[in-house]
Amino acid sequence: MSNSILSINNLSKKYRGNENYSVKDLSFEVKEGELYAFLGPNGAGKSTTIKCITGALPYKEGSINICGYNLHDNPVEAKKNIGYVPDNHFLYESMTANEYINFMADIYGVGVNDRKERSKKYLELFSLTDSQNKPLSSFSHGMKQKVCVIGALIHNPKLWILDEPLTGLDPMSAYNLKELMKEHCKEGNSVFFSSHIIEVVEKLCDKVAIIDKGHLLISGSMEEIRAKDRENSLEDFFISVTQNDKETIQFSENNESEDEFTE
C-alpha cells in the first residue's frame, strides 16, 4: 500500500467575520505517485483549501498532514515537502528569474549542484534560458507562471501543489507542464492541483475531488467516477453533481462505490 503524502481530516475553515464556512468537513488523501485534481466552480473553496494546506491561511478545525508531519505541530518540516505554485504567482519583481530560483533553493536548502542541474533543465524546458537574467518585472504573465513553477520544483518536493496552473500558459508550455506533472508523479512524488478545465483533469489525473460551496461532493479515481456515470462525460457529471450540493459520494478503497449524505 502506498504512503500517504497529503492527508486532510475534517478540515473546516470559516473566514473571520463570515458566518458561513468556506470549507466544511473536508477529508481526503493524496497518496505517493498520485496525480490528484481538485475541481469545483468559482467560490467553491478550492483556493481556500490549498491555502490552508500550504500554510498561507490558518485553520482551527480539522487536521492536515504532509508526509507524516502535522501542519499545526510541525509547520516547517511539513512545508519542506511542498512545492507551491499559487494562482496569483507572487514574485519579487526586482529579482531576475535566476535570482528568484536561487532564493527558493536557498530557502529550501538545495545544494549548488542540484539547483544548477534542475534550474538548467526547467529553464530549457520552458524556454526561459535567454531570459533568466532579466528582471521579473519585464516578464509576461505566462513567463512569471513558469518561473513560479521552476521555483516550486527546485527542491524536488514530495508534494507539488498548483492552483489553477494552466491559466495564461501557451499551448507548448501547458503541454510541458502537464508532462512535468506526470513525470513528477512517476518519480514517486505526488501532484495536487486545482483546475476549471475538466478535459485536462479527465486526461491527466488518477484521482479527482469535486468541491462546491465548501463541501466535498465526490472523491475517487477517474475509473470510479466514470463507472458512476458511463453515459455522460466528466463535464456533464461535474455539472450534475455541483447542481445538487447536498450529496457526497465517496468511493471506498476496494472500488465499490457508495453514496453518503453529509447533511
Site string for other proteins, 105-134 (x = CB under 8 A): -xxxx-------------------------
Phi/psi of residue 31, nearest 5 degrees = -100, 170
135 binds other proteins (CB under 8 A): yes
243 binds other proteins (CB under 8 A): no
Of 204, 85, 95, 96, give the one whose Cα is nearest residue 154.
Answer: 85
The minimum distance between CB 126 and other proteins, in angstroms, equals 20
140 binds other proteins (CB under 8 A): no
d(CA 240, CA 201): 17
92 binds other proteins (CB under 8 A): yes
Cα separations (Å) of 109 from 55, 86, 99, 103? 19, 21, 15, 10
The minimum distance between CB 171 and other proteins, in angstroms, equals 25
d(CA 157, CA 180): 13
Those residues with Cβ within 8 angstroms of residue 144's Cβ, 6 or more apart along the chain or in another chain: 89, 91, 136
Those residues with Cβ within 8 angstroms of residue 192's Cβ, 6 or more apart along the chain or in another chain: 6, 30, 36, 38, 50, 53, 159, 160, 161, 162
Nearer to other proteins, 93 or 124 (CB): 93
219 binds other proteins (CB under 8 A): no
Nearer to other proteins, 21 or 237 (CB): 21
The minimum distance between CB 213 and other proteins, in angstroms, equals 14
Nearer to other proteins, 54 or 195 (CB): 54
10 binds other proteins (CB under 8 A): no
| Inter-axis angle of helices 112-125 and 141-153, nearest 10 | 150
Q: Which of 18, 42, 113, 244 binds other proteins (CB under 8 A)?
A: 18
| Inter-axis angle of helices 112-125 and 97-107, nearest 10 | 140
Q: Which residues bind other proteins (CB under 8 A)?
A: 15-18, 22, 51, 54-58, 75-80, 82, 84, 86, 90, 92-95, 103, 106-109, 135, 137
